[in-house]
Amino acid sequence: MSNSTKYIFVTGGVASSLGKGIIAASLAKLLQARGYSTTIQKLDPYINIDPGTLNPYEHGECYVTDDGAETDLDLGHYERFLNVSTSQANNVTTGRIYQSVINKERQGAYLGKTVQVIPHITNEIKDNIQSLSKDGEYDIVITEIGGTVGDIESLPYVEALRQMRWEFADDCIVIHLTLVPYLQAAGELKTKPTQHAVKQLLELGVQPDILCCRTEHKLDLELRKKIAQFCNVVPEAVIEAMDAPTIYDVPLMMQEEELDEIVLKRLGLSRKSQPDLTSWNSFLHNLKNPTSEITIGLVGKYVELKDSYKSINEAFIHGGTANLCKVNIEWIHSEKITKANAKEILGDLDGILVAPGFGSRGITGKINAVQYARENNVPFLGICLGMQCAVIEFARNVMGWEDAHTAEISPEAKRPVISLMEEQKTVSDMGGTMRLGQYKCELKPNSNIYEAYNTEVIKERHRHRFEFNSAYLDDFKKSGMKATGFNPDTGLVEVVEVEDHPWFVGVQFHPEYKSTVDNPHPLFTSFVKAIMNNKNK
Ligand code: GLN
């Protein structure tokens, strides 16, 4: 076995949304389970520096890493599958590439040369791919190229990959994900779109090594041979990727198809060890054999696009599975909830989660949902803006401070119970300027949060500008809302809880980003458990 890092590229053809991220994460899981240290990187062809400034309707959830990078939601899949933290280096956008090249140009780094897409942009891309495995930290780097091959904007990435394949020869392979549609009228699976997708890649100088074919029906041997023949690959390199019951089934389906076998063979890596998927299999077994069931209302303003709350959804799958409990999520539009209809909309739920968010749209409905949960003893979890709404609701309806609000929406509020963080007061740029990434938090004993984590100091990820206004801490405490988690360095309130309630927790941080298959997040596990207990009462 050679000592050099191996590179696997995952590209997509025919259509978008074929699930490159899940295929990449599944392959990484299989390779990791064979003992290869593996990481995954996503290259996004848009001009934004990061998705932090994108509306979730555009791009789904913005995922945040330990180091405070605002990234593509596929990084969430990578972490959930691999149980390894990612960082800024795992997500590169065209904006970031160009920014770096332009900065270098201004510094005079190109010594009078004309700065061009080839070689300067492509070199920057290649550097970003290779720097991920500095000092040979990883045996294998999987790089997923966003978008569809043939799009103008992804051309420099495909060119960079073409060059790397040439430079790295046998240490670099390409997996192309395509679609094999079924035509009902003809009663047939059609291979032509795949042939054309490969042709398009060939026009750019790239021969794929493996084809992953998304399909709703099984690919028989004849069909695989046909695809192989037209696309210059061996039939074993035509991998069937059927629609899966859950994303967590995909690694096993890929193992069944021997995707990992052919990858290792092509890279000249040993196939002696078999993947150890013991813990993965036991998770899947528990996921599919629940002994109880609960329904949680997820109250948010982007619920039409469920990808906006991807990590929360997955964290409930992990936390539910840890309790052998099937968690149904009812997606509830915050704009629809009024005080008058709250019972009608929320009355049948076993638990309520108020989601993170920004801006005024839907905030009144969120506050109404909190009130309903608090007054009706429904277990409640508020995340970030959800926690801030819980504070506003408590101030208004328990403490009688009708004018309490967050400074985000009402900068002139007489009682800004949620206020702008000091360090934010001089910030004017929108991109990458929030309080981002992982910070410590100290938990107070005898609290739901302490019970959940069972430890005094935790680290969680953040993405916000506003905070609990500590000037009012004593007033809240006297009225029955206590702060049970603080940042040890700044004193910032990270957790609030309502006493005399079955389970009411609001957290300023985002626990959902750190839940993985191997490590279901303790807060989600505890929330589900509290709901089950409350239901059984
Ligand atoms: N908008 C709020 C803030 O900036 C909450 C952010 C969030 O929910 N991620 O503090």
Q: Over the stretch 262-299, which tens digit does the pLDDT of each residue have?
A: 999 999 998 888 899 999 999 999 999 999 999 999 99
User: Strand 292-300 and strand 351-354: pairing?
Assistant: parallel
Nearest 10 degrees: Cα torsion 98, 104, 105, 109: -140
Three-state SS string over 367-390 comes to HHHHHHHHHCCCCEEEECHHHHHH
Q: Which of 120, 83, 81, 82 is nearest to 98 (CA)?
A: 120
| Predicted local distance difference test score (pLDDT) of residue 171 | 96
Q: Cβ distance 337 to 369 under 8 Å? A: yes
Query: Atom 3 of ligand 1 has which residue's CA nearest to it?
Result: 464
Global pTM value: 0.96
- What is the pLDDT at residue 135? 79
Would you say the CB of residue 318 lies under 6 angstroms from ligand 1? Answer: no
The CB of 465 under 6 Å from ligand 1? The reply is yes
Q: Which residues pair with 212 in a beta bridge?
A: 177, 239
Q: Is 302 in the pocket of ligand 1 (CB under 6 A)?
A: no
Angle between helices 522-536 and 310-322 (to 10 degrees): 60
401 C-alpha to ligand 1 centroid (Å)? 22
Q: What distance in angstroms lies between residue 416's CA and the mean position of ligand 1's atoms?
A: 15
Whether 70 is in the pocket of ligand 1, judged by its Cβ within 6 Å, is no
Maximum CA extent, the chain? 75
Q: What is the DSSP string of 306-357?
A: GGGGHHHHHHHHHHHHHTTEEEEEEEEEGGG--TTTHHHHHTT-SEEEEPP-
Atom of ligand 1 nearest to the CA of 421: 10
What are the backbone dihedrals phi and psi of residue 196, each rounded to the nearest 5 degrees, phi first? Answer: -70, -35
In sequence order, the 6+-apart residues with CB closer than 8 A to the CB of 114 are: none
Nearest Cα to 28, choosing from 280, 197, 308, 318? 280
How far is the C-alpha of 133 from the C-alpha of 4, rounded, in Å? Answer: 10
Contact predicate 39/65, CB 8 Å: no
pLDDT value, residue 3: 57
User: How far does residue 276's CA lie from ligand 1's centre (Å)?
Assistant: 40
Distance from Cα 387 to the centre of ligand 1, integer Å: 9
Other Cβ atoms less than 10 A from the Cβ of 473: the count is 17
- Residue 331 Cα to ligand 1 midpoint, Å, equals 20
With a cut of 50, list the residues of the chain below it in pLDDT. Answer: 1-2
In 210-249, which ranges are continuous DSSP H helix? Answer: 221-231
The pLDDT, as a whole number, for residue 1 is 39
Residue 356 near ligand 1, beta carbon < 6 Å? yes
- Tell me, using a 6 A CB cutoff, whether residue 421 lines ligand 1: no
Looking at residue 2, what is its pLDDT?
43
Q: Can you tell me the distance from the alpha carbon of 475 to that of 394, in angstroms, rounded to the nearest whole number?
A: 11
Q: For 77-128, how does the pLDDT look when each residue is reduced to its tens digit (9 = 90+)?
A: 999 999 999 999 999 999 999 999 999 999 999 999 999 999 999 999 999 9
Q: Which amino acid residue places its CA nearest to atom 6 of ligand 1?
A: 464
**Terminal CA-CA length for the chain:** 59
Question: Which of these, 226, 180, 231, lies nearest to 206 by C-alpha position?
Answer: 231
CB 312 within 8 A of CB 353: yes
Among all residues, which ones are annotated catalytic?
384, 510, 512
Of all protein residues, the one whose alpha carbon is nearest to atom 1 of ligand 1 is: 358
